[in-house]
């Protein structure tokens, strides 16, 4: 990014300060999506360690949770 | 040569396998539950996890988290934000609440203590993607003590079972398990059986 682009970006930011908040929200939701991926892996590890305890429902909940996190991230990109 | 003395085999009092309720905290001889380090002929005698009452504190926190957005009507903390940001914040809050519920539930469900016919196993998941499995053979168990203290623990009959071992893990603790006296009794019985097996030279 050269100095002109930086100045243009800062001008935009000054005109609409909510852009900065939007970026913060998106970063937070991105971190949440990463967390949801880890939860899926965690559930798989747990089921591998202890087989026979609600395997299918737990896997389903973990994947639905990941899907929800992705949907909310996309929603934040569109709405904000 | 006929044997002069043959010790009578004591019939071991064991209850028939129970129909497994996956959410129970005290299961004798569970069906359809296996753990990763279980050997082929190894049978689970007792399957334990923390008493369900230990979940009450975090359930109360979750209830507070669920109703917290209602209080925003009386204390408009987010009013400085545009409507779209308020909406996304609310969705994010409920997503976070879901994650806390799921994590707490998983922690309760998978932090278990298992007594098999050969050893005791303690499976812990202290944090994300991290697990600890400690085990000790029954014949390495040296001392068993139970700890039940306080009003709630006495009322719901749950407590800690501390097992001193001669293995690499000097102490294994079954935390807040139901019927600690019964657990200690079963462990003692298994230790006696193990000693009997050693005396008779029976090796499985």
Q: Do A79 and B87 touch (CB under 8 A)?
A: yes
CA of B153, closest CA in chain A: separation in Å? Answer: 26
Q: Is the pLDDT of residue A11 over 90?
A: no
Asked if residues B78 and B86 have their Cβ atoms less than 8 Å apart, the reply is: yes
Structure tokens at B43: 């049978």
Q: What is the pLDDT of residue B13?
A: 54
Please tell me whether residue A2 adopts helix, strand or coil conformation. coil
Report long-range pairs for B106-109 (Cβ below 8 Å, ≥24 apart).
Answer: B106/A42, B106/A43, B106/A46, B106/A58, B108/B49, B108/B50, B108/B54, B108/B55, B109/A46, B109/A53, B109/A54, B109/A58, B109/B23, B109/B49
Determine the pLDDT at residue B6: 63
Amino acid B5: pLDDT: 63
Instruction: Tell me the β-bridge partners of B135.
Output: B121
* Structural domain spans, chain B: 42-198
Inter-CA distances, B99 with B12, B66, B141, Å: 45, 12, 39
β-pair partners for A66: none
A contacts of B108 (beta carbons < 8 Å): none
Closest residue on chain B to A19 (Cα): B85
- The pTM (predicted TM-score) of the whole model is 0.84
d(CA B3, CA B10): 18
Q: Residue B12 and residue B8: Cα distance in Å, rounded?
A: 12
* A10, pLDDT greater than 90: no
Determine contact, residues B26/B186, Cβ cutoff 8 Å: no
pLDDT at residue B4 in the model = 64
**Rounded Cα gap, residues B103 and A39, in angstroms:** 8
Distance (Å, whole) CA A58 – CA A36: 13
Q: Looking at the complex, does the CB of residue A50 fall below 8 Å from at least one CB of chain B?
A: yes
Tell me, what's the pLDDT at B72?
A: 82
pLDDT value, residue B57: 96
User: Which segments of chain B have a pLDDT < 50?
Assistant: none
Whether A43 and B82 lie within 8 Å, measured CB to CB: no
pLDDT of res. B82: 87
A40 and chain B: CB distance < 8 Å anywhere?
no
Length of chain A (residues)? 80
Instruction: Decide: B27 and B47 in contact? Cβ < 8 Å.
Output: yes
State which residue of chain B sits closest to A29, comparing Cα positions: B92
Within a 10 A sphere around the Cβ of A34, how many other Cβ atoms? 11
Q: Nearest CB to B95: which of A41, A48, A72?
A: A72
Architecture (CATH level 2) of domain B42-198? Roll (2.30)
Q: What angle do CA A72, A69, A30 make, to 5 degrees?
A: 85
A31-70 residue pLDDT tens: 999 999 999 999 999 999 998 878 899 999 999 999 999 9
* Residue B39: φ, ψ to 5°: -85, 165
Quick one: closest CA in B to A69, which residue?
B95
Distance (Å, whole) CA B60 – CA B166:
41
pLDDT score of B62:
96
Beta carbons of B51 and B57 less than 8 angstroms apart: no
């Amino acid at each position: 990014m050269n100095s002109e682009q930086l100045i243009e970006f800062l001008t935009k930011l000054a005109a609409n300060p909510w852009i900065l908040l939007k970026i913060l929200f998106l970063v937070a939701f991105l971190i949440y999506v990463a967390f949801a991926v880890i939860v899926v892996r965690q559930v798989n590890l747990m089921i591998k360690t202890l087989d026979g305890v609600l395997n299918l429902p737990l896997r389903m909940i973990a994947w639905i949770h990941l899907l929800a996190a992705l949907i909310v991230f996309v929603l934040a990109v569109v709405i904000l | 040569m006929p044997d002069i003395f043959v010790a009578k085999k004591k019939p071991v009092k064991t209850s028939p396998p129970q129909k497994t309720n996956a959410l129970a905290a005290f299961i004798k001889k569970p069906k359809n539950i296996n753990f990763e380090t279980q050997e082929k002929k190894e049978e689970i005698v007792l399957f334990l996890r923390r008493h369900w009452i230990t979940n009450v504190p975090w359930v109360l926190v979750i209830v507070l988290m669920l109703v917290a957005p209602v209080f925003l009507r009386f204390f408009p903390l987010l009013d400085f934000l545009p409507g779209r940001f308020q909406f996304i914040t609310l969705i994010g809050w409920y997503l976070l609440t879901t994650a806390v519920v799921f994590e707490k539930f998983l922690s309760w469900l998978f932090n278990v203590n298992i007594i098999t016919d050969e050893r005791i196993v303690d499976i812990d998941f202290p944090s994300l993607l991290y697990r600890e499995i400690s085990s000790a053979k029954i014949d390495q168990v040296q001392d068993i003590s139970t700890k039940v203290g306080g009003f709630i623990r006495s009322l719901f009959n749950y407590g800690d079972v501390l097992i001193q071992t001669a293995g690499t893990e000097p102490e294994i603790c079954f935390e807040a398990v139901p019927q600690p006296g019964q657990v200690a009794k079963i462990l003692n019985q298994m230790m006696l059986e193990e000693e009997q097996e050693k005396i008779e030279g029976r090796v499985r």
